[in-house]
Structures are given as structure tokens and as C-alpha cells.
């Protein structure tokens, strides 16, 4: 399931009061989807990294009360009231004893003397054993308590998220041009291209590193092979027509006609700059490009700034491209 479908499914399972487990390779945004669902449902979120826990961390430390009987001190991070989502992240990487401690919490909504309040729901996430991330097999008693969802990356979902998250447009253009590099998991590599590492890469690009070190920084973020391709793409991107020049004279500014990489790059750059005041100029220039790049640009621009869809310029553009837009 792509991330937007995982989000929709989690909303259903929260309403159905069923614990959910999201599986997927590292770096594809599983934790981000859970956080987005919590925000959308206006729920509190408690993020518990199960791999960092000992069994006693969940059950609590024993103590003796005034009557001479042993009790358990409930850990501070477990909720006492209200409503929210208790997120057990990286559960498959947790030792077996911690998984056993989680079993009662997931099954009976209690552990020891603690009971999970009625307004709270449980979601967990983790990597599969085949992902090589040090995961253990969930014991069958714990696994059978969850509704399991398998997450996969999706180009459109990543680009929609990237536009809203202010990911550098050169990165969005690059993954559209080299779609197979959106996520290329390699358990033996120090790092590899994936949505999480592209977010790191965007932060690096924004700092304008010097030519002497930029390739090494890119390699550190997304791995050697992808970094070399990205550096070549970035060089092309930097030689594109000025976006300011395009907006000032959209009818006559240079236009990359036959190079797909340049077309992806200029379309993503325009989507980043499109606004209510300059949308007419943007569309005038896009009309000189192949239709698929025009559609991609306008969709990205609206994902970033939804008010553009209410303008007369967008309405005229949508009517002209109704056969591919609707």
C-alpha cells in the first residue's frame, strides 16, 4: 500500500479500535504517516521506541507500600487519561522479553497494574526481517493481535509530501526523472536513496556546499551511485533558464524542448515559484512545454498552495487540459 492508503487505513482501524502494524523497509516514512494520522484525527501521540526498552520499563519498578505489599510504579511515559495514539515503533527490533511485555498491553490493554485509557489506540511499525535491519520475528501470539499493513513507496505521494515539506525542487525533479532511485534499499550500504535520505539531501543542498565537498556530502546522504547521478542532474539544473527570466517574459524565455531531464527540472522549479500573482505567466510558459510537464507542474503548485485552484487562470487551464486532468 502506498503511504496515502496506509494513512486512510490507519484512520479506519483507529475508529474500529483495532491495533495496527505497519511494515516496510527503512526510510520510507512509516513513522511520519502515523504522526500525520494523529494530527489529522486531532489525537495526542506518544512515540515509544520499543527497541530502547527493557521489560521492566513497561511494567514499572517494584516498590513496597505502607502495608508491606509490593506494587509496581507505573512508567511516566504511559498515558493516564485523555485520548491519543500509543505508537510502539521499531517493535520487531525489540528483544523477545520486551515483545512479551507488549503482548499484554496490546491484547488486554493493560500491563501489570496499569490499564490503557479507553481513549487511546495502539499502532506499531517496523522493518521486515528481509530488510536486514536487525529485526526479530514477532511471536505469533503478539503478531495475531494486529491488523497488518505493508507499506511501499509511491512517487506521487512522495512528491506531494515533498512540495508541502519544502523539499528542494531539484530533488523532486531528480526522482521523477530517475524513478527507480526513489527508494533503492541496500542493507550492505552505509546509506541508500529513500524518502528519508532525500530529506537529508535537501537540507544539504539548501546550504550550498562548496564544489570541493558537495559530492562527498551527497554520497553520505544517498549512497555513491545515486549521488553521482544526482550531481550530474544538479549541474544540468543549475544551467536552466532563470526562473525569474521565465516569469518576466514567459513567451520568449528559453525553453528546453527535447531533454526530459531539463523539462522535469524546469517544471518542478516553476511549481515551487507559482503563486496567485504570477500564475498567468507560469501557465503561459507551460503552454510551450509538452502537456505532461504542464500537468505535473500545476498539480505540484496546487499541492503546495491550494488557493491557486480558485483562480480564473487555473480554471481556464483546467478546461483546456480536461482530457488529462479529470
Strand 61-64 and strand 70-73: the pairing is antiparallel
Average model confidence (pLDDT) across the chain: 88
| Its pTM surpasses 0.75 | yes
Beta bridge partner(s), residue 45: 85
Same domain, 93 and 77: yes
pLDDT recorded at residue 135: 65
| Residue at which a domain ends, from 95, 125, 150 | 150
The mean pLDDT of 87-99, rounded to a whole number, is 85
Dist CA 77 CA 63 (whole Å): 18
The C-alpha cell that represents 210 in the structure block: 562548496
The one-character DSSP state at 85 is E
Same domain, 260 and 313: yes
Same domain, 32 and 54: yes
The C-alpha cell that represents 156 in the structure block: 506521487
Q: What percent of the chain has pLDDT over 70?
A: 94
Same domain, 211 and 276: yes
> 3-class DSSP state for residue 229?
helix
pLDDT recorded at residue 134: 58
- Looking up residue 97, the CATH number of its domain turns out to be 3.40.50.300
DSSP for 272-299, written as a single string: HH--TTTHHHHHHHHTTS-HHHHHHHHH
Q: Where are the beta strands (DSSP E) in 38-118?
A: 44-49, 61-64, 70-73, 83-89, 110-111, 114-115
State which of 197-201, 247-251, 271-275 shows the largest mean pLDDT.
Answer: 197-201
Same domain, 228 and 267: yes
| Residue at which a domain ends, from 84, 116, 150 | 150
**Residue 326: pLDDT over 60:** no
Domain count of the chain?
2
Dist CA 221 CA 200 (whole Å): 6
Domain limits for position 76: 3-150
Dist CA 160 CA 271 (whole Å): 11
Tens of pLDDT, residues 45-89: 999 888 887 777 776 667 677 666 777 677 788 898 889 999 999
| Residue at which a domain ends, from 116, 150, 184 | 150
pLDDT recorded at residue 171: 94
Task: pLDDT band for 205, please (50, 70, 90 cuts).
Answer: very high
Query: Are 263 and 294 within 8 A, CB to CB?
Result: no
**Residue 215: pLDDT over 80:** yes
The residue ranking higher by pLDDT, 69 or 215, is: 215
pLDDT recorded at residue 181: 95
pLDDT recorded at residue 33: 95
Amino acid at each position: 500500500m502506498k503511504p496515502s492508503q496506509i494513512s486512510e487505513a490507519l484512520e479506519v482501524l483507529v475508529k474500529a479500535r483495532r491495533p495496527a502494524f505497519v511494515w516496510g523497509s527503512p526510510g520510507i516514512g512509516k513513522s511520519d504517516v502515523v504522526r500525520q494520522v494523529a494530527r489529522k484525527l486531532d489525537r495526542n501521540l506518544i512515540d515509544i521506541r520499543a527497541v530502547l526498552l527493557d521489560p521492566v520499563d513497561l511494567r514499572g519498578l517494584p516498590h513496597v507500600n505502607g502495608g508491606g505489599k509490593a506494587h509496581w510504579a507505573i512508567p511516566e511515559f504511559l498515558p493516564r487519561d485523555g485520548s491519543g495514539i500509543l505508537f510502539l515503533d521499531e517493535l520487531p527490533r525489540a528483544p523477545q522479553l520486551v515483545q512479551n511485555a507488549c503482548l499484554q498491553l496490546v491484547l488486554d490493554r493493560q500491563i501489570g497494574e496499569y490499564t490503557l485509557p479507553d481513549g487511546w489506540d495502539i499502532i506499531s511499525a517496523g522493518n521486515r526481517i528481509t530488510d536486514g535491519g536487525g529485526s526479530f520475528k514477532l511471536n505469533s501470539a503478539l503478531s495475531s493481535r494486529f491488523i497488518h499493513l505493508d507499506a511501499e513507496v509511491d512517487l506521487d505521494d512522495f512528491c506531494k509530501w515533498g512540495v508541502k515539506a519544502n523539499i528542494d525542487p531539484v530533488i523532486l525533479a531528480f526522482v521523477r526523472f530517475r524513478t527507480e532511485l526513489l527508494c533503492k534499499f541496500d542493507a550492505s550500504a552505509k546509506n541508500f536513496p529513500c524518502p528519508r535520505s532525500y530529506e537529508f539531501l535537501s537540507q544539504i543542498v539548501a546550504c550550498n556546499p562548496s564544489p570541493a565537498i558537495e559530492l562527498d556530502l551527497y554520497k553520505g546522504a544517498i549512497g555513491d551511485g545515486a549521488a553521482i547521478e544526482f550531481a550530474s542532474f544538479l549541474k544540468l539544473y543549475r544551467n536552466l533558464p532563470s526562473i525569474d527570466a521565465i516569469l518576466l517574459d514567459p513567451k520568449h524565455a528559453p525553453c528546453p524542448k527535447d531533454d526530459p531531464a531539463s523539462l522535469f527540472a524546469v517544471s518542478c522549479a516553476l511549481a515551487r515559484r507559482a503563486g496567485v500573482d504570477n500564475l498567468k505567466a507560469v501557465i503561459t510558459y507551460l503552454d510551450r512545454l509538452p502537456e505532461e510537464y504542464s500537468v505535473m507542474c500545476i498539480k505540484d503548485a496546487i499541492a503546495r498552495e491550494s488557493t491557486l485552484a480558485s483562480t480564473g487562470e487555473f480554471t481556464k487551464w483546467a478546461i483546456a487540459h480536461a482530457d488529462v486532468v479529470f
